[in-house]
């Protein structure tokens, strides 16, 4: 069995290719992907060659961990059936390419334990569940506070803000330095950080991935306040100790989502408590992958680029 797939052979060397797939077993699903998203965080780092050493990494690789599609073959032990709509967080099913992510392909073979059933009405937005689950993971659980300040109004920042409101908490303030990205707030205010004089935020979530912001953020928190690092940082993080000492500042790193986060997020979306609308700003046919990846990583007006594998 073969599939068309996006193949990243090295930094900035990306195109469509045909790859052989592993044969499915009784615990596997064969999924025809309809849409796959392009991550402007980790995937961009692989594309640019800036990703630090990471377990399982290497070229050539198939990118993509945000995919939605339809089951076309279900193993006897899976509990799925042909026609089920599913979210797929990538797949490691290729004979001649790394599948650290592996979701940007027309067809994938994956263990059924990795996928999540979704409503057929999700359409392309079903591929956004991984980002929504990432935002939920940063916020949910013991001893975690919802944000009253979010730094960055990209897709992750917007989802953090929407989840905060869905939790019944006061609307957070959101910082965004790019005027073109200040639109789209749903019940919360998006402002230029230069205009914000507040210095008593209790919980600051950084969704920008910018390593040079820590000193400023320490100066913005209340005594005992927390800074949550929700982005992905390629450079060493540092900050001046005396101001952090005076504030008794706390730092927390938000890791990747769990299956529980994915299930909880899906339930919120299906119940209408969390909207995924307005986050996909660009869509390209998968055949235009080279152009789509370039635009996703260089065009600041592109919040989320989606590849269409159906048409």
Task: Assess whether 111 and 165 both reside in one domain.
Answer: no
Closest-CA residue to 27 (of 87, 107, 113, 92): 113
**What is the token pair recorded at 260?**
């529980």
Separation between Cα atoms, residue 304 and residue 302, nearest integer Å: 6
**Residue 217 domain-assigned?**
yes
Q: Are residues 286 and 208 in the same domain?
A: no
DSSP 2: E
Please tell me the total count of domains within the chain.
2
As to burial, measured by CB atoms within 10 angstroms (0-12 exposed, 13-18 middle, 19+ buried), residue 159 is: buried
173 assigned to some structural domain = yes
Q: Which pLDDT does position 56 carry in this prediction?
A: 67
Closest of 206, 246, 196, 205 to residue 224, by C-alpha: 246
Task: Name the phi and psi angles at 292, rounded to 5.
Answer: -65, -45
92 and 12 within one domain: yes
Q: At 296, which helix (H) or strand (E)?
A: helix 289-298
* HEC letters along 124-181: HHHHHHHHHHHHHHHHCCCCCCCCCEEECCCHHHHHHHHHHHHCCCCCCEEECCCHHH
Q: Compute CA 79 distance to the chain's CA centroid, rounded to the nearest angstrom.
A: 27
Residue with tokens 């073109």: 180
pLDDT tens, per residue, the chain with 311 residues: 999 999 999 999 999 999 999 999 999 999 999 999 999 888 898 898 888 777 767 899 999 999 999 999 999 999 999 999 999 999 999 999 987 789 999 999 999 999 999 998 889 999 999 999 999 999 998 889 999 999 999 999 999 999 999 999 999 999 999 999 999 999 999 999 999 999 999 999 999 989 899 999 999 999 999 999 998 888 889 999 999 999 999 999 998 899 999 999 999 999 999 999 999 999 999 999 999 999 999 999 999 999 999 97
Q: Which structural domain range is residue 6 located in?
A: 2-117+281-308
Q: How far apart are CA 302 and CA 251, in angstroms?
A: 30
CATH number for position 157: 3.40.50.720
Asked if residue 56 and residue 143 are part of one domain, the reply reads no
CATH of the domain at 60: 3.90.180.10
* Cis omega (within 30 of 0) for bond into 60: yes
């Amino acid at each position: 069995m073969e599939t068309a797939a996006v193949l990243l052979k090295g930094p900035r060397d990306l195109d469509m290719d045909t790859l052989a797939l592993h044969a499915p077993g009784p615990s596997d699903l064969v999924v025809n992907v309809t849409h796959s998203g392009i991550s402007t965080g980790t995937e961009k780092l692989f594309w640019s060659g800036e990703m630090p050493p990471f377990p399982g990494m290497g070229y050539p690789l198939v990118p993509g961990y945000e995919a939605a599609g339809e089951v076309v073959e279900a193993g006897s032990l899976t509990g799925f059936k042909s026609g089920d709509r599913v979210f797929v967080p990538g797949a490691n099913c290729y004979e001649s390419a790394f599948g650290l992510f592996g979701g940007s392909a027309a067809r994938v073979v994956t263990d059924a334990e990795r996928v999540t059933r979704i409503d057929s009405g999700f359409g392309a937005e079903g591929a956004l569940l991984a980002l929504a689950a990432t935002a939920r993971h940063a916020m949910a659980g013991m001893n975690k506070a919802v944000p009253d300040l979010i730094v960055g109004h990209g897709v992750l920042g917007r989802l953090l803000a929407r989840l905060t409101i869905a939790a019944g908490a006061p609307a957070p303030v959101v910082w965004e330095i790019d005027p073109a990205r200040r639109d789209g707030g749903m019940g919360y205010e998006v402002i230029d950080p230069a205009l914000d004089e507040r210095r008593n935020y209790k919980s600051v979530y950084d969704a920008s991935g910018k390593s040079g912001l820590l000193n400023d953020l320490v100066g913005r928190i209340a005594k005992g306040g927390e800074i949550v690092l929700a982005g992905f940082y390629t450079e060493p993080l540092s900050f001046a100790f005396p101001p952090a000492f005076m504030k008794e500042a706390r730092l927390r790193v938000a890791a990747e989502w769990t299956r529980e986060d994915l299930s909880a997020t899906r339930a919120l979306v299906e119940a209408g408590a969390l909207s995924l609308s307005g986050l996909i700003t660009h869509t390209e046919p998968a055949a235009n992958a080279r152009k789509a990846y370039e635009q996703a990583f260089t065009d600041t007006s592109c919040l989320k680029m989606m590849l269409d594998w159906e048409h």
